[in-house]
Amino acid sequence: AISGHSMGGHGALTIALKDPSSWVSVSAFAPICNPTQVPWGDKAFKAYLGSVAAGEAHDATSLLLERGSPVPEYDDILIDQGTSDDFLMNQLKPDVFVAAAKSVGQKVTINMRKDFDHSYHFIAAFIENHVAFHGKRLRAKLGNLRDTYSTYDFSATEGKPIQCKAMVARQPKEPLSEETITVDPPQAGEVRVKVIANALCHTDIYTLDGQDPEGLFPCILGHEAGCIVESVGPGVTSVAP
């Protein structure tokens, strides 16, 4: 299951729509639903990808319209949105996403929560509903998969340098470049993780714009991620592979 808030909600929707076979269910709190048509998206796509047009592949509304049909893996998509959210009309635009879903026959349940804003208090107030939404669908899926569990085996990489792809920011205000990087084994107090899903937020734009006094280049942006622990360095006791 996948879920997120604001830009993370945008990420949840787009990741789920682009790869439905990997997810049982999807929900979002106050997601950015049509980023190619709002100021946040205009700024982010130009900064990260070089143009707004390149962001079409990462726009939930555009993805649904391009698909032109409902996603059979999702019997419903759950969205909660506060009516007093300062970003509702000019940045989030859930009504556009709902209209697109209706045009292609995709069911979307949107709860407009009276007087709630964009804060984490809003998430806390309704997170139980989202857990129940995903839990119901995960339990149903689990009934068909009880004998097909899979686990991650990191024995081949543990203690060794690994190579992987990364979008690297070389200079402020420059598009990111896809590069192959080497990630060393974790040292004392460090953890190395396999990133499953990642989201870029306004802090990353702040850094890429060159306004972050602590921002160093080159760097790899994206500090909001869902990960699996691959290995840990000496002294780490809070998590384990």
Rounded mean pLDDT, 9-18: 95
Highest mean pLDDT among 60-74, 154-168, 215-229: 60-74
pLDDT number for residue 205: 86
pLDDT number for residue 76: 97
Confidence check: pLDDT of 77 > 80: yes
pLDDT number for residue 161: 96
Confidence check: pLDDT of 34 > 90: yes
CA–CA separation, 18 and 66 (whole Å): 11
Q: Residues for the chain: how many in total?
A: 241
pLDDT number for residue 222: 83
Strands 162-169 vs 177-183: parallel, antiparallel or unpaired: antiparallel
User: From the CB of residue 219, how many other CB atoms can be counted at a distance below 10 Å?
Assistant: 15
Confidence check: pLDDT of 149 > 80: no
pLDDT number for residue 199: 75
pLDDT number for residue 153: 84
pLDDT number for residue 146: 54
CA–CA separation, 203 and 21 (whole Å): 31
Task: Tell me which of 5, 10, 58, 118 is the catalytic residue.
Answer: 118
Concerning whether 150 is annotated as a catalytic residue, the answer is: no
Mean pLDDT of the chain: 92
Task: Tell me which of 3, 5, 6, 130 is the catalytic residue.
Answer: 6
Give pLDDT tens digits for 179-198. Answer: 999 999 999 999 999 988 87
Concerning whether 85 is annotated as a catalytic residue, the answer is: yes
Confidence check: pLDDT of 150 > 60: no
Give pLDDT tens digits for 97-148. Answer: 999 999 999 999 999 999 999 999 999 999 999 999 999 999 888 876 555 5
pLDDT band at 95 (very low <50, low <70, confident <90, very high): very high
Concerning whether 121 is annotated as a catalytic residue, the answer is: no
Confidence check: pLDDT of 201 > 90: no
Question: The tokens of 116 are what?
Answer: 């709630």
The DSSP symbol for 227 reads: E
Q: Are 18 and 68 in contact (CB under 8 A)?
A: no
pLDDT number for residue 145: 58
pLDDT band at 41 (very low <50, low <70, confident <90, very high): very high
Task: Tell me which of 85, 130, 204, 231 is the catalytic residue.
Answer: 85
CB burial string 97-131: b at 16+ within 10 A, e below:
bbebbeeeebebebeebeebebeeebbeebbeebe
